[in-house]
């Protein structure tokens, strides 16, 4: 394993942290702060907020021969980028940035015209269209940093993030990326420069690829992992991972440290801070990943580590996922005969419908899914081998904590806390760090509040930001 470069910090900024000139200036100040501390930042940025969605909409319009519609969307984006550039930099720097922006939008428009002419959008072309978001934002951010007196350099991420040709969700080649980082990015860092690159985008044999939606975190982790950085910072617009949704529970607390596995469990359940699979390249090298708030840079955020410190509370966080459907499949004749589960799963698989939770009894199997589109087709097929019925508007509540293991009788405590709520289906997470159960959607708030009151009355101050609660309480 390579030697850690503890002076390098990879700082990834999401769409809201680069959404306009104010946000980019705030981002520049945060990065300058790290430089003042003697650290060497490498900055990875998302496209400006909503730009990715707009580019995808433009590509889709072009794919349906709607040339004008596609170009109108592109025009709106051109105006927004030029306006932001004008707000951020001036003089020669502005002239050259404007030129680059026009150059990119001209290329994008050519592409959109081409797509409309053939009326066909391939995944490869779609990746090309959508890559403009990060290509543009990274150039603007690099220029803004320079304007603020930082020695920044723009790096085209496509020369570094080398992937396979799976357009739309390419798999990075970590070995090739590490080599590219060492030969192209490290020398810049060694010169005291701040490299700025777009997240999400990469290339395969010179053709643009993308890592999938939300892929900028992945880029951050690949860069941090590849260079064995001292830390990776994911800058978003929340204070970190919370004990539960603060909109439901006003006394939700920030979790100071959480394990990678706990974060992974939570990510699935609406705690949309980041997608943990994407930070795996960092976790594997034991590089801490921080989730921080660019609107509240003083806040310490949440640190995600491979092995968390012991916690006196059984749970770190409670999350909920709504809009689920539960499907009961009763196979009375087959008594769950050998091969039955496989047949059931194959049907879901065939319709690309992911199953969230499964529970089985002697004659029946219940599964939950989060999309309804394929259900009529799935049920039609399943009814050839079983009796099938489904119920929508369900929600999954999930309690996550590494320390569930050490607490005897924990499920008793959980279900006592919500004894007034009707529980439909229970799953003991195979990972042993997750307890989840299914309830009606309308009971979610009540269940979360009851559980939070039960399990976070006296939270462990080494793991949770209890000071925030003292401050709030002090004000009352």
Residues found near ligand ASP in the complex (CB under 6 A): 14-15, 46-47, 52, 133, 199-200, 213-216
Min separation Cβ 15 and ligand ASP, Å? 5
Comparison of 46 and 317: residue with beta carbon closer to ligand ASP: 46
Comparison of 195 and 459: residue with beta carbon closer to ligand ASP: 195
Q: Report strand pairing: 5-13 vs 201-204.
A: unpaired
Comparison of 49 and 317: residue with beta carbon closer to Mg ion: 49
Number of Cβ atoms within 10 Å of the Cβ of 6: 13
> Residue 333 in 3-state DSSP?
coil
> Residue 426 in 3-state DSSP?
strand
**Residue 281 interface partner, choices Mg ion, ligand ASP, none, CB cut-off 5-8 Å depending on type:** none
Min separation Cβ 289 and Mg ion, Å? 13
Comparison of 129 and 414: residue with beta carbon closer to ligand ASP: 129
32: burial class by Cβ within 10 Å (0-12, 13-18, 19+)? Answer: middle
Q: Long-range contact list for 167-171, CB < 8 A, 24+ apart?
A: 167/122, 167/123, 167/124, 167/126, 167/127, 167/209, 167/210, 168/123, 168/126, 168/127, 168/210, 168/212, 169/210, 169/211, 169/212, 170/127, 170/202, 170/204, 170/209, 170/210, 170/211, 170/212
Min separation Cβ 215 and Mg ion, Å? 8
**Residue 137 interface partner, choices ligand ASP, Mg ion, none, CB cut-off 5-8 Å depending on type:** none
Number of Cβ atoms within 10 Å of the Cβ of 123: 15
| DSSP 8-state code for residue 4 | P
Q: Where are the beta strands (DSSP E) in 361-429?
A: 364-369, 387-400, 423-428
User: How far is 414 from 406, CA to CA, in rounded Å?
Assistant: 15
User: How far is 439 from 446, CA to CA, in rounded Å?
Assistant: 11
> Residue 242 in 3-state DSSP?
strand
Comparison of 234 and 439: residue with beta carbon closer to ligand ASP: 234
**Residue 213 interface partner, choices ligand ASP, Mg ion, none, CB cut-off 5-8 Å depending on type:** ligand ASP
Min separation Cβ 15 and Mg ion, Å? 7
Comparison of 55 and 121: residue with beta carbon closer to Mg ion: 55
The CB-nearest residue to Mg ion is 214
Comparison of 277 and 336: residue with beta carbon closer to ligand ASP: 277
Min separation Cβ 278 and ligand ASP, Å? 9
Q: Where are the beta strands (DSSP E) in 267-352?
A: 289-293, 302-305, 317-330
**Residue 202 interface partner, choices Mg ion, ligand ASP, none, CB cut-off 5-8 Å depending on type:** none
Min separation Cβ 175 and ligand ASP, Å? 23
Query: Binding residues for Mg ion, per CB under 5 A?
Result: 14, 214
> Residue 248 in 3-state DSSP?
coil
Min separation Cβ 414 and Mg ion, Å? 31
């Amino acid at each position: 394993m390579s030697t850690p470069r503890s002076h390098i910090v990879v700082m990834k900024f999401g769409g809201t942290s680069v959404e306009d000139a104010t946000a980019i200036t705030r981002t520049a100040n945060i990065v300058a702060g790290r430089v003042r501390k003697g650290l060497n930042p490498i900055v990875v940025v998302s496209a400006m907020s909503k730009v990715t969605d707009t580019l995808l909409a433009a590509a889709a319009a072009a794919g349906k021969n709607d040339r004008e519609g596609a170009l109108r969307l592109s025009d709106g984006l051109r105006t927004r980028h030029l306006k932001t550039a004008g707000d951020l930099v001036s003089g020669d720097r502005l002239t050259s940035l404007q030129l680059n922006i026009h150059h990119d939008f001209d290329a994008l428009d050519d592409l959109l015209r081409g797509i409309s002419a053939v009326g066909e959008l391939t995944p490869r072309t779609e990746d090309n269209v959508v890559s403009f978001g990060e290509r543009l934002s990274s150039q603007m951010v690099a220029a803004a940093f320079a304007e603020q007196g930082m020695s920044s350099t723009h790096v085209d991420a496509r020369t570094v993030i080398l992937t396979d040709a799976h357009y739309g969700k390419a798999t990075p080649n970590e070995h090739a990326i590490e080599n590219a980082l060492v030969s192209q990015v490290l020398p810049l860092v060694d010169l005291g420069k701040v490299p700025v690159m777009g997240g999400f985008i990469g290339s395969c044999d010179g053709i643009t690829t993308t890592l999938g939606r939300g892929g900028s975190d992945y880029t951050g982790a690949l860069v941090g992992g590849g260079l064995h950085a001292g830390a990776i910072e994911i800058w978003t617009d929340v204070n970190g991972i919370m004990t539960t949704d603060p909109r439901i529970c006003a006394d939700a607390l920030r979790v100071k440290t959480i394990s990678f596995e706990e974060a992974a469990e939570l990510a699935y359940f609406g705690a949309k801070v980041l997608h943990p699979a994407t930070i795996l390249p960092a976790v594997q090298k034991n590089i801490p990943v921080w989730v921080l708030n660019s609107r509240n840079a003083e806040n310490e955020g949440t640190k995600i580590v491979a092995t968390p410190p012991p916690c006196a509370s059984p749970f770190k966080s409670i999350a909920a996922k709504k809009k689920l459907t539960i499907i009961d499949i009763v196979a009375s004749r087959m008594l769950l005969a050998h091969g039955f589960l496989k047949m059931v799963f194959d049907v879901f698989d065939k319709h690309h419908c992911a199953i969230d939770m499964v529970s089985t009894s002697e004659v029946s199997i219940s599964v939950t899914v989060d999309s309804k589109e394929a259900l009529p087709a799935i049920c039609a097929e399943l009814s050839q081998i079983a009796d099938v019925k489904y119920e929508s508007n369900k929600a999954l509540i999930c309690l996550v904590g590494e320390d569930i293991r050490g607490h005897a009788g924990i499920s008793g405590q959980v279900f006592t806390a919500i004894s007034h709520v009707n529980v439909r289906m229970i799953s003991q997470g195979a990972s042993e760090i997750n307890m989840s159960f299914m309830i009606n959607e309308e009971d979610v708030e009540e269940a979360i509040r009851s559980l939070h009151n039960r399990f976070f009355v006296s939270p462990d101050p080494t793991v949770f930001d209890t000071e925030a609660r003292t401050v709030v309480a002090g004000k009352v």
